Structure 1
Protein backbone atom coordinates (compact mmCIF):
# COMPACT_ATOMS: atom_id res chain seq x y z
CA UNK A 1 0.00 0.00 0.00
CA UNK A 2 1.24 3.46 -0.88
CA UNK A 3 1.16 6.53 1.32
CA UNK A 4 0.72 9.46 -1.01
CA UNK A 5 0.45 12.81 0.71
CA UNK A 6 -2.55 13.96 -1.29
CA UNK A 7 -3.14 16.92 1.00
CA UNK A 8 0.28 18.42 0.26
CA UNK A 9 -0.04 17.66 -3.45
CA UNK A 10 -3.45 19.33 -3.57
CA UNK A 11 -2.20 22.38 -1.66
CA UNK A 12 0.47 22.87 -4.31
CA UNK A 13 -1.88 22.21 -7.22
CA UNK A 14 -4.25 24.80 -5.76
CA UNK A 15 -1.48 27.42 -6.14
CA UNK A 16 -1.37 26.86 -9.91
CA UNK A 17 -4.34 29.10 -10.82
CA UNK A 18 -2.65 32.05 -9.07
CA UNK A 19 0.71 31.37 -10.71
CA UNK A 20 -0.98 31.00 -14.11
CA UNK A 21 -2.95 34.21 -13.63
CA UNK A 22 0.21 36.08 -12.64
CA UNK A 23 2.01 34.84 -15.74
CA UNK A 24 -0.89 35.78 -17.99
CA UNK A 25 -1.04 39.26 -16.49
CA UNK A 26 2.74 39.68 -16.74
CA UNK A 27 2.72 38.65 -20.40
CA UNK A 28 -0.29 40.83 -21.29
CA UNK A 29 1.09 43.94 -19.59
CA UNK A 30 4.74 43.31 -20.43
CA UNK A 31 7.05 46.30 -20.35
CA UNK A 32 10.83 46.01 -20.26
CA UNK A 33 11.11 47.28 -16.69
CA UNK A 34 12.78 45.91 -13.60
CA UNK A 35 9.40 45.52 -11.86
CA UNK A 36 7.93 43.47 -14.72
CA UNK A 37 11.14 41.45 -14.84
CA UNK A 38 10.91 40.64 -11.15
CA UNK A 39 7.25 39.64 -11.47
CA UNK A 40 8.12 37.29 -14.32
CA UNK A 41 11.09 35.83 -12.41
CA UNK A 42 8.98 35.08 -9.36
CA UNK A 43 6.20 33.49 -11.41
CA UNK A 44 8.69 31.28 -13.25
CA UNK A 45 10.37 30.33 -9.98
CA UNK A 46 7.04 29.43 -8.37
CA UNK A 47 6.12 27.34 -11.42
CA UNK A 48 9.38 25.41 -11.05
CA UNK A 49 8.81 24.85 -7.36
CA UNK A 50 5.21 23.67 -7.75
CA UNK A 51 5.97 21.11 -10.47
CA UNK A 52 9.06 19.76 -8.73
CA UNK A 53 7.34 19.63 -5.33
CA UNK A 54 4.38 17.74 -6.77
CA UNK A 55 6.74 15.46 -8.67
CA UNK A 56 8.72 14.73 -5.51
CA UNK A 57 5.55 13.88 -3.55
CA UNK A 58 4.47 11.50 -6.32
CA UNK A 59 7.91 9.86 -6.51
CA UNK A 60 8.03 9.39 -2.73
CA UNK A 61 4.42 8.27 -2.39
CA UNK A 62 4.43 5.76 -5.21
CA UNK A 63 7.97 4.62 -4.42
CA UNK A 64 9.28 5.43 -7.88
CA UNK A 65 13.03 5.45 -8.53
CA UNK A 66 15.01 8.15 -6.76
CA UNK A 67 15.50 11.40 -8.61
CA UNK A 68 18.99 12.84 -8.95
CA UNK A 69 18.03 16.29 -10.24
CA UNK A 70 15.11 18.56 -11.07
CA UNK A 71 15.18 17.30 -14.65
CA UNK A 72 15.17 13.74 -13.35
CA UNK A 73 11.99 14.46 -11.35
CA UNK A 74 10.33 15.46 -14.64
CA UNK A 75 11.77 12.39 -16.42
CA UNK A 76 10.47 10.01 -13.76
CA UNK A 77 6.94 11.36 -13.56
CA UNK A 78 6.76 11.44 -17.36
CA UNK A 79 7.99 7.82 -17.57
CA UNK A 80 5.31 6.89 -15.02
CA UNK A 81 2.65 8.48 -17.27
CA UNK A 82 1.75 11.28 -14.87
CA UNK A 83 1.99 13.96 -17.56
CA UNK A 84 1.71 14.19 -21.32
CA UNK A 85 4.63 14.74 -23.70
CA UNK A 86 3.83 18.43 -24.46
CA UNK A 87 3.74 19.24 -20.73
CA UNK A 88 6.92 17.24 -20.13
CA UNK A 89 8.77 19.02 -22.96
CA UNK A 90 7.90 22.45 -21.58
CA UNK A 91 8.65 21.47 -17.97
CA UNK A 92 12.11 20.16 -18.85
CA UNK A 93 12.82 23.59 -20.31
CA UNK A 94 11.25 25.20 -17.23
CA UNK A 95 13.30 23.31 -14.63
CA UNK A 96 16.48 24.17 -16.54
CA UNK A 97 15.72 27.79 -15.64
CA UNK A 98 16.06 27.11 -11.91
CA UNK A 99 19.82 27.59 -11.80
CA UNK A 100 19.77 30.88 -13.77
CA UNK A 101 16.85 32.18 -11.68
CA UNK A 102 18.10 31.12 -8.25
CA UNK A 103 21.89 30.96 -8.50
CA UNK A 104 22.82 33.14 -11.47
CA UNK A 105 20.14 35.79 -10.95
CA UNK A 106 22.70 38.55 -11.52
CA UNK A 107 22.89 37.55 -15.21
CA UNK A 108 19.13 37.10 -15.79
CA UNK A 109 17.73 39.39 -18.49
CA UNK A 110 14.96 41.21 -16.65
CA UNK A 111 14.07 43.30 -19.67
CA UNK A 112 12.93 40.46 -21.95
CA UNK A 113 9.73 38.46 -21.82
CA UNK A 114 10.73 34.80 -21.56
CA UNK A 115 8.81 32.63 -24.04
CA UNK A 116 7.65 30.25 -21.30
CA UNK A 117 5.82 33.06 -19.54
CA UNK A 118 3.20 33.05 -22.27
CA UNK A 119 2.90 29.28 -22.77
CA UNK A 120 3.16 28.00 -19.20
CA UNK A 121 -0.22 29.06 -17.76
CA UNK A 122 -2.19 26.57 -19.82
CA UNK A 123 0.43 23.86 -19.38
CA UNK A 124 0.40 24.30 -15.60
CA UNK A 125 -3.38 23.94 -15.59
CA UNK A 126 -3.10 20.82 -17.76
CA UNK A 127 -0.48 19.43 -15.37
CA UNK A 128 -2.81 19.92 -12.39
CA UNK A 129 -5.55 18.06 -14.22
CA UNK A 130 -3.18 15.26 -15.27
CA UNK A 131 -1.86 14.81 -11.73
CA UNK A 132 -5.37 14.63 -10.32
CA UNK A 133 -6.29 12.08 -12.99
CA UNK A 134 -3.20 10.03 -12.21
CA UNK A 135 -4.03 9.99 -8.51
CA UNK A 136 -7.59 8.92 -9.28
CA UNK A 137 -6.39 6.04 -11.46
CA UNK A 138 -3.63 4.85 -9.16
CA UNK A 139 -5.18 5.13 -5.72
Structure 2
Protein backbone atom coordinates (compact mmCIF):
# COMPACT_ATOMS: atom_id res chain seq x y z
CA UNK A 1 0.00 0.00 0.00
CA UNK A 2 2.85 2.38 0.82
CA UNK A 3 4.43 1.82 -2.60
CA UNK A 4 1.17 2.53 -4.42
CA UNK A 5 0.68 5.74 -2.43
CA UNK A 6 4.31 6.67 -3.16
CA UNK A 7 3.71 6.14 -6.88
CA UNK A 8 0.61 8.35 -6.71
CA UNK A 9 2.39 11.15 -4.83
CA UNK A 10 5.36 10.95 -7.22
CA UNK A 11 2.96 11.19 -10.13
CA UNK A 12 1.17 14.19 -8.62
CA UNK A 13 4.43 16.02 -7.89
CA UNK A 14 5.76 15.28 -11.39
CA UNK A 15 2.51 16.47 -12.95
CA UNK A 16 2.57 19.73 -10.99
CA UNK A 17 6.20 20.38 -11.96
CA UNK A 18 5.48 19.82 -15.67
CA UNK A 19 2.38 21.99 -15.46
CA UNK A 20 4.43 24.72 -13.80
CA UNK A 21 7.10 24.49 -16.50
CA UNK A 22 4.49 24.79 -19.24
CA UNK A 23 2.95 27.82 -17.52
CA UNK A 24 6.43 29.33 -17.20
CA UNK A 25 7.02 28.74 -20.92
CA UNK A 26 3.73 30.48 -21.68
CA UNK A 27 4.79 33.40 -19.46
CA UNK A 28 8.10 33.68 -21.34
CA UNK A 29 6.29 33.68 -24.70
CA UNK A 30 3.97 36.38 -23.39
CA UNK A 31 6.93 38.57 -22.41
CA UNK A 32 8.91 38.00 -25.62
CA UNK A 33 5.99 38.24 -28.04
CA UNK A 34 3.68 41.23 -27.73
CA UNK A 35 1.04 39.64 -29.95
CA UNK A 36 0.91 36.44 -27.87
CA UNK A 37 -2.18 37.55 -25.94
CA UNK A 38 -3.96 38.39 -29.21
CA UNK A 39 -3.06 34.96 -30.60
CA UNK A 40 -4.46 33.34 -27.46
CA UNK A 41 -7.68 35.34 -27.78
CA UNK A 42 -8.10 34.04 -31.34
CA UNK A 43 -7.72 30.48 -30.06
CA UNK A 44 -9.91 31.03 -26.98
CA UNK A 45 -12.71 28.81 -28.27
CA UNK A 46 -10.29 25.86 -28.45
CA UNK A 47 -8.64 26.42 -25.08
CA UNK A 48 -9.44 24.35 -22.01
CA UNK A 49 -9.33 25.48 -18.41
CA UNK A 50 -6.27 24.94 -16.26
CA UNK A 51 -8.00 22.45 -13.96
CA UNK A 52 -9.08 20.30 -16.92
CA UNK A 53 -5.53 20.47 -18.26
CA UNK A 54 -4.16 19.37 -14.89
CA UNK A 55 -6.61 16.49 -14.75
CA UNK A 56 -5.66 15.40 -18.27
CA UNK A 57 -1.95 15.59 -17.44
CA UNK A 58 -2.49 13.61 -14.27
CA UNK A 59 -4.56 10.97 -16.08
CA UNK A 60 -1.86 10.58 -18.73
CA UNK A 61 1.02 10.55 -16.25
CA UNK A 62 -0.78 8.23 -13.82
CA UNK A 63 -1.41 5.81 -16.67
CA UNK A 64 2.27 5.89 -17.57
CA UNK A 65 3.18 5.49 -13.90
CA UNK A 66 1.12 2.35 -13.36
CA UNK A 67 1.59 0.80 -16.81
CA UNK A 68 5.35 1.39 -17.17
CA UNK A 69 7.13 2.64 -14.07
CA UNK A 70 5.57 0.50 -11.33
CA UNK A 71 6.02 -2.85 -13.14
CA UNK A 72 9.62 -2.04 -14.06
CA UNK A 73 10.44 -1.02 -10.48
CA UNK A 74 8.77 -4.18 -9.17
CA UNK A 75 10.72 -6.32 -11.64
CA UNK A 76 14.05 -4.68 -10.80
CA UNK A 77 13.32 -4.95 -7.07
CA UNK A 78 12.47 -8.66 -7.31
CA UNK A 79 15.67 -9.31 -9.26
CA UNK A 80 17.66 -7.31 -6.72
CA UNK A 81 19.03 -5.04 -9.42
CA UNK A 82 17.43 -1.74 -8.52
CA UNK A 83 20.68 0.22 -8.44
CA UNK A 84 21.79 3.64 -9.71
CA UNK A 85 23.00 2.34 -13.06
CA UNK A 86 19.71 0.59 -13.84
CA UNK A 87 17.75 3.61 -12.64
CA UNK A 88 19.70 5.87 -15.01
CA UNK A 89 19.06 3.47 -17.91
CA UNK A 90 15.39 3.26 -16.98
CA UNK A 91 15.17 7.06 -16.69
CA UNK A 92 16.76 7.54 -20.12
CA UNK A 93 14.71 4.85 -21.87
CA UNK A 94 11.44 6.08 -20.39
CA UNK A 95 12.26 9.73 -21.14
CA UNK A 96 13.35 9.11 -24.72
CA UNK A 97 10.56 6.70 -25.61
CA UNK A 98 7.69 8.69 -24.10
CA UNK A 99 9.19 11.96 -25.37
CA UNK A 100 9.50 10.51 -28.88
CA UNK A 101 5.90 9.29 -28.74
CA UNK A 102 4.78 12.71 -27.47
CA UNK A 103 6.60 14.48 -30.30
CA UNK A 104 5.30 12.22 -33.03
CA UNK A 105 1.76 12.29 -31.64
CA UNK A 106 1.56 16.06 -31.11
CA UNK A 107 3.86 17.24 -33.90
CA UNK A 108 2.05 18.32 -37.04
CA UNK A 109 3.65 17.36 -40.36
CA UNK A 110 1.48 19.96 -42.11
CA UNK A 111 3.53 22.57 -40.26
CA UNK A 112 6.74 20.94 -41.44
CA UNK A 113 9.39 18.64 -40.09
CA UNK A 114 10.70 21.46 -37.89
CA UNK A 115 7.48 21.38 -35.85
CA UNK A 116 7.77 17.62 -35.36
CA UNK A 117 11.42 17.92 -34.31
CA UNK A 118 10.55 20.73 -31.88
CA UNK A 119 7.70 18.64 -30.47
CA UNK A 120 10.02 15.66 -30.02
CA UNK A 121 12.62 17.89 -28.32
CA UNK A 122 10.01 19.41 -26.03
CA UNK A 123 8.61 15.97 -25.25
CA UNK A 124 12.00 14.49 -24.40
CA UNK A 125 12.95 17.51 -22.26
CA UNK A 126 9.59 17.43 -20.49
CA UNK A 127 9.83 13.72 -19.72
CA UNK A 128 13.47 13.98 -18.61
CA UNK A 129 12.31 16.48 -16.01
CA UNK A 130 9.15 14.51 -15.20
CA UNK A 131 10.92 11.21 -14.61
CA UNK A 132 13.70 12.92 -12.62
CA UNK A 133 11.18 14.48 -10.25
CA UNK A 134 9.08 11.33 -10.24
CA UNK A 135 11.92 8.94 -9.39
CA UNK A 136 13.42 11.24 -6.75
CA UNK A 137 10.03 11.74 -5.07
CA UNK A 138 9.22 8.03 -5.16
CA UNK A 139 12.51 6.93 -3.61
CA UNK A 140 12.39 9.65 -0.96
CA UNK A 141 8.92 8.46 0.06
CA UNK A 142 9.66 4.74 0.28
CA UNK A 143 12.71 5.21 2.50
Q: Same fold (TM over 0.5)?
A: no
TM-score w.r.t. length of structure 2: 0.30
TM-score w.r.t. length of structure 1: 0.31
Higher helix share: 2
